[in-house]
Amino acid sequence: MTTLWDTTGSAVVKELAAQRRTGGAVLSGVALTLVVVADENRVAEAEEAATAAAEQHPCRLLIVVRRQIEAPSPRLDAEVLIGGRLGPGEAVVMRMYGRLALHAESVVLPLLAADAPVVTWWHGTPPEQLSTDALAVIADRRITDSSLAQDQLAALRARAEDYAPGDTDLAWTRSTPWRATLTSTVDSVSGRRGDAVRVLGGRVEGDPGNATALLLAGWLSARCDREIQVVSGERRAGPSGVSAVVLELDQDEQVRVEADRRGGAVIHQPYRPEATVALPDRQLGDLVGEELRRLDPDEPFAEALESTTGVPDLAYRSAVREYVWFDPAEENAGSGGETLPAVPPDSEGTDEVAQQGVDDADQGARDAGQAVP
């Protein structure tokens, strides 16, 4: 591992190439580039999850830590690792200060693996409009996590309004075991009958404000063409926000899948004894790893998000995002029309660019004795 203090993107690229030559190439090729955006208070959790995902999918791992955006001058500190604590591949952890943190793509773009897909994961609050973030526009797949928001339903609505094919959410990924179990249970009933099964109604019991529970109910509603709602359950739901799912079938039959709080679920279905299946709460790295298995649009997620939020025709939107550049220093530059100052009030009077019109490149040229235009 090499740590570069107060460095530049070019120096990071050179150090990565130097370590590859010195230590030997750990990987002859990578499947993708995984860009992780996190705040300092979440960076340890993000590193652990990204490392687990990188072990499943060989990738170049770029972790962007936006730290002290209010700093009066931009600065970059970077750790360059090959085959180190962040997995067997190549990894760069970049801590960005000042306005550089708002334009992280200037450092990230030269570090992308050549001819490999790009996946961007926000472990925290994503931009309200991904089109205003270059790290989203350059990505083939974009991963958010609505379960981290205080108002998870509002977060889902924001993702629906801004949706483009290639977007996904870890709240949806957490519902995978439930979806698989429900599908196999209904298939079992269909196999016993020797005929198709129609779902006439049902409910999801758990936390009505949980994004995973809401998306699971939306998926059931879209698939069954019946309104399935989330209702408060008698038992406390786990991290998935779901304690049980009840489906009312035709021929006056009912199936119920109920979490047993021991990492499994009990299946109740007609004319069959109770059965127990594994339904564990998965680690964050497993969730990210699942989303890296496929880079094509997740159509079931679009259907579930559309049904949950009521925003129509998500799957028919263009998969190509057009980058909307803005200067955070200008009026009405943000997605909500607010002013995003480059220099905060407590830093006014200390910024060399604001006072003298001197940027880092000009200052470096002056220090080297070169003429500055």
| Angle, CA of 233, 235 and 239, to the nearest 5° | 90
* Range picked from 7-11, 291-295, 302-306 for highest mean pLDDT: 302-306
If you average pLDDT over every residue of the chain, what do you get? 84
Angstrom distance (rounded) from CA 281 to CA 317: 33
Q: Confidence band (pLDDT; 50, 70, 90) for 340?
A: very low
Residue 204 tokens read as 């999801």
The whole-number pLDDT of residue 343 equals 40
The whole-number pLDDT of residue 27 equals 52
Q: Confidence band (pLDDT; 50, 70, 90) for 71?
A: confident
How many CB atoms neighbour CB 257 within 10 A? 22
What percent of the chain has pLDDT above 70? 85
Q: Confidence band (pLDDT; 50, 70, 90) for 288?
A: very high
The whole-number pLDDT of residue 298 equals 93
92 forms beta bridges with 62, 80
Angstrom distance (rounded) from CA 241 to CA 217: 11
Residue 338 has pLDDT above 60, yes or no: no
Across the range 195-209, mean pLDDT stands at 93
Residue 220 has pLDDT above 80, yes or no: yes
The whole-number pLDDT of residue 360 equals 45
Residue 356 has pLDDT above 60, yes or no: no
Cβ atoms of 207 and 237 within 8 Å: the answer is yes
Higher pLDDT, 253 or 339: 253
Across the range 172-178, mean pLDDT stands at 95
pTM: 0.84
Cβ atoms of 66 and 46 within 8 Å: the answer is no
Angstrom distance (rounded) from CA 231 to CA 297: 30
Indicate the domain borders of the chain. 2-172+284-316, 176-278
Residue 368 has pLDDT above 50, yes or no: no
Question: Residue type for 139, please?
Answer: A
Across the range 165-194, mean pLDDT stands at 94
Q: Which value, in Å, is the radius of gyration of the alpha carbons in the chain?
A: 24
The whole-number pLDDT of residue 257 equals 95
Cβ atoms of 297 and 319 within 8 Å: the answer is yes
Higher pLDDT, 239 or 59: 59
Q: Confidence band (pLDDT; 50, 70, 90) for 362?
A: very low
Residue 255 has pLDDT above 80, yes or no: yes
pLDDT in tens, 98-132: 888 888 898 999 999 888 999 999 999 898 889 88
The whole-number pLDDT of residue 329 equals 52
Across the range 253-278, mean pLDDT stands at 90
Residue 273 tokens read as 């004894």
Across the range 207-212, mean pLDDT stands at 94
Residue 168 has pLDDT above 50, yes or no: yes
The whole-number pLDDT of residue 153 equals 95
Across the range 283-309, mean pLDDT stands at 94
